[in-house]
Amino acid sequence: MNKFFLMVSHSYFSKLKAKAFIISTVLIAAALILLTNFDTVISSFKGDEVNKVVVQDETGYVYASIKTQLTTMNNEIQLESASESVEEIEKKIESEEVKGLLIVREGDDSLPKAVYKSNSLSDSSITSDLQLALQNIKSNVAANQLELSSEELMKLSEPVVFEKEALVEGAKSEEELSQARGIVYVLLFFIYFSVIAYANMTAMEVATEKSSRVMEILISSVSPVKQMFAKIIGIGLAGLTQIAILLAVGYITLARKKDDLVGGFFEGFGFESLSISVIMYATIFFLLGYFLYATLAALLGSLVSRIEDVQQMIMPMTFLIMIGFFISMFGLGSPDSSFVTIASYIPFFTPMVMFLRVGMLNLPAYEPIIGIVILLISIILLGVFGARVYRGGVLLYGKSNSYKDIKKAMDLTSNK
């Protein structure tokens, strides 16, 4: 047992000291800080930049109204009445003295219509704000033509009252579902990338030791099975350490920007109402998903003799994780469909799909528990099978042809 913990400790600390691990942690942490402060970074590059748009108003009444509206809508757009010909203004646009030209005319229906000219239409915020302001002006002009009062115009613009009621007691409201969808969406990405990264790391670690012949020295003092589980646990602990560091960086950064993010990131993704149960289930399904796929990765990694063959060997495993993720993405729009429900009980999809259902629906307690039990049983069975393959696989050398090597590895284990 002391040798087992020694192997766990070796896997854990060797991974923590690895340059790739340190660099990836620093880069991801830097990306988190950058994303949280993205608005500040963008505004620092923009400085006091103002987008000057020249308006040629052929109607005689649009310019004043649109300028008033844009004052409150977007203060980065500065309107200026045209005092030169269209050709001269276009030359200024080409030399980037002016951002764009808005030509407003009256159509056959006596309602305003416009043409916007610019070097590039990539900045959609300018065109969308100009279009929205003109739409409001057009509505007012049309209302005057039809002799509608402002109250009547407001009634026409009001959205229809459309309420939704769930007949099942305790079902989540539309607002709660929207918040849950945002939380689950973010956490599903977290589970997906974490599981696939750390499982691949396990396969690479096994293949690296085998290709360098270090494995031959290790199996002379520690059994291959102990090596396999020590490696899985050690890399899992390293992964949890990395996640803890990133969560700490994210929490500190978000805490400093909390006031700026209220109503934006926090509200949009539902983090203001993040519950302990959702975090608990995310942690449970992440850990179980990792152990399931890491065991499979260690099994497959033991079959290859060259690091170059690892990605090809674990490709089907990667596809399984991707299928589970895509089912979960589909389930965001329809979490109670029969297809999603059935998929949530298939072990290789359970970590993500069952978590989706737990986060989006008010499930009875026995359903996630059944999913957890299925995962535990699957991990145990795969661990027993994987241990047999691993014990023989680490002794197989030469070109890895296909998954037929699994049978060779098991035969080699039986003959020992």
In percent, the amount of the chain with pLDDT more than 70 equals: 76
Which of residues 241 and 142 earns the better pLDDT score? 241
**Per-residue pLDDT band at 5 (split at 50, 70, 90):** confident
User: What integer is the mean pLDDT of 172-192?
Assistant: 70
pLDDT by residue (tens digit) across 363-377?
Answer: 888 999 999 999 999
Dist CA 273 CA 256 (whole Å):
19
**212 within 8 A of 306, measured Cβ to Cβ:** no
Segment 326-336 mean pLDDT: 86
In tens, the pLDDT along 11-44 reads 888 888 888 888 888 888 888 787 777 666 666 6
- The highest-confidence range among 41-50, 166-175, 322-331, 399-408, by mean pLDDT, is 322-331
User: Domain map of the chain by residue range?
Assistant: 49-157, 172-415
Q: Which among 86, 396, 338 is positioned nearest to 211, based on CA atoms?
A: 396
- Kindly report, residue by residue over 337-373, the tens digit of the pLDDT: 899 999 999 999 998 899 888 888 888 889 999 999 9
Domain covering 49-157, topology: D-Maltodextrin-Binding Protein; domain 2 (3.40.190)
- The rounded distance, in Å, linking the Cα atoms of 229 and 3 is 12
Find tokens 């913990």 and name the residue. Answer: 5
pLDDT score recorded for residue 94: 86
pLDDT-above-90 percentage for the chain: 6
Predicted local confidence at residue 96, as pLDDT:
81
Residue bearing the bigger pLDDT, 170 or 309 = 309
Nearest C-alpha neighbor of 356 from the set 370, 341, 369, 346: 341
pLDDT of residue 370: 94
Average pLDDT over residues 315-341: 88
* Cα 345 from Cα 193, distance rounded (Å): 21
Global pTM?
Answer: 0.69
Asked if residue 126 has pLDDT above 90, the reply is no
54-69 pLDDT, tens digit per residue, is 888 888 888 888 888 8
Among 164-168, 195-199, 212-216, the range of highest mean pLDDT: 195-199
* Number of residues that this document lists for the chain: 416
Contact 117, 91 (CB under 8 A): no
Task: Assess whether pLDDT exceeds 70 at residue 129.
Answer: yes
Position with higher pLDDT, 350 vs 258: 350
Better pLDDT: 375 or 265? 375
Burial class (CB in 10 A: 0-12, 13-18, 19+), 373: exposed
Instruction: Please give the backbone phi and psi of residue 8, each rounded to the nearest 5 degrees, phi first.
Output: -60, -45
Q: Are 297 and 197 in contact (CB under 8 A)?
A: no
pLDDT score of 342: 93
Is residue 152 predicted with pLDDT exceeding 80? Answer: no
256-277 mean pLDDT: 57
| pLDDT on residue 78 | 82
User: Lowest-confidence range among 170-179, 235-244, 266-275?
Assistant: 266-275
